[in-house]
Amino acid sequence: MAVLIPVSPAGADVPLSVQTVIAQERITAMTVELSGSVEAAEAVPMGFRSGGRITEIVADMGDQVLQGQILARLDDTQAKAAEAAAEAQFAAAEAVLLQARQAQERIAALTERGAATQAALDSATQTLLAAQSGRDQAEAQLNKARQASRDTVIRSPAAGIVISRTAEPAQIVGATQTVLTIASDGAGEAVFHAPDFAEIDDLLGQQIELRILDGSDRRLAATISEISPMIFGQSGTIMVKARFDTPAGGASLGAAVASEVSFAMPATIGVPAGALMRAEGGPAVWVVDPATRQVALVPVKIDHFTDRSVELSEGLAAGAEVVTSGAQLLYPGRVVTSAGGKP
């Protein structure tokens, strides 16, 4: 960009021969190349509800699993012992309840015949209620012990594929520590890292065509479903997700995919880079008055650069004649003639 230093050279009344160009309006579209990989739309981390030592893991990364299938086990020695003790306590509480119920029924019958007092019946009723409470508590403890025993086993919550395994047999794990991660069968999504630009939010909801980069010519339809509001600090990119329009999408997890997205940009006025000047700290161009052939310095706003031109968003109208060569000799009001033209 040249720096303008206005001067008034001798012979100012002689038209100066310069090269000019007619500013053209351009309707452009931005095309963004996206590349990424296929990920599961729903991934479920699996872990044991209680801690302990793993005795068995029957699934590995990449394995297909069915709903309800056993995936891993903990050492259940203590859990089984606690369950057996709870069952014995429940059986004892059931026996006590049966005896208390029989005693209460017998005293109730005697009371009706006048052979027992009301106080005896009240006492038998209280004993029955206490036995019922004891039996309920024992049942709750039994259910808790049985659940603890079931919690030593991890079962797949849905059909899918194992995408992560973070533990091994004989390892001690804590409660809820992730052991396996299951990607559910069904909808998948492509995850891209796109360059950050002002119009990126316009991509949301746009349908795109994905190319599977496996040497084949397979193409899949998808819809952009999510655009992250955060920029990745190291790469300066934005995470974009596209959900497949059909279940599973026909692409395996981890498959590389690519796509192109295009959208219209606001109209700009294009001029050669050599026409750009600087005046009062901002960009400007020399514009020729078609009637008087005098030039005027017009401030402009740059939208973007291309390899062949400068695209302006403000300050210049389509059809304006702009000086592209010889601008360093100009000053406001200077009369010019286009090279090979008339003043």
pLDDT tens digits for range 78-91: 999 999 999 999 99
Q: What is the pLDDT of residue 1?
A: 54
CA 130 to chain centroid, in Å, comes to 57
* Rg for the chain, CA atoms, rounded: 41
Residues of the chain scoring pLDDT < 70: 1-13, 186-187, 233, 246-251, 340-343
Q: What is the pLDDT of residue 105?
A: 93
Strands 310-314 and 268-271, sheet pairing:
antiparallel
Q: What is the pLDDT of residue 325?
A: 85
Q: What is the pLDDT of residue 251?
A: 67
Residue carrying structure tokens 């004993």: 127
d(CA 6, CA 327): 10
Q: What is the pLDDT of residue 10?
A: 47
Q: What is the pLDDT of residue 148?
A: 92
> Nearest Cα to 67, choosing from 155, 186, 187, 161?
155
> Nearest Cα to 20, choosing from 314, 308, 289?
289
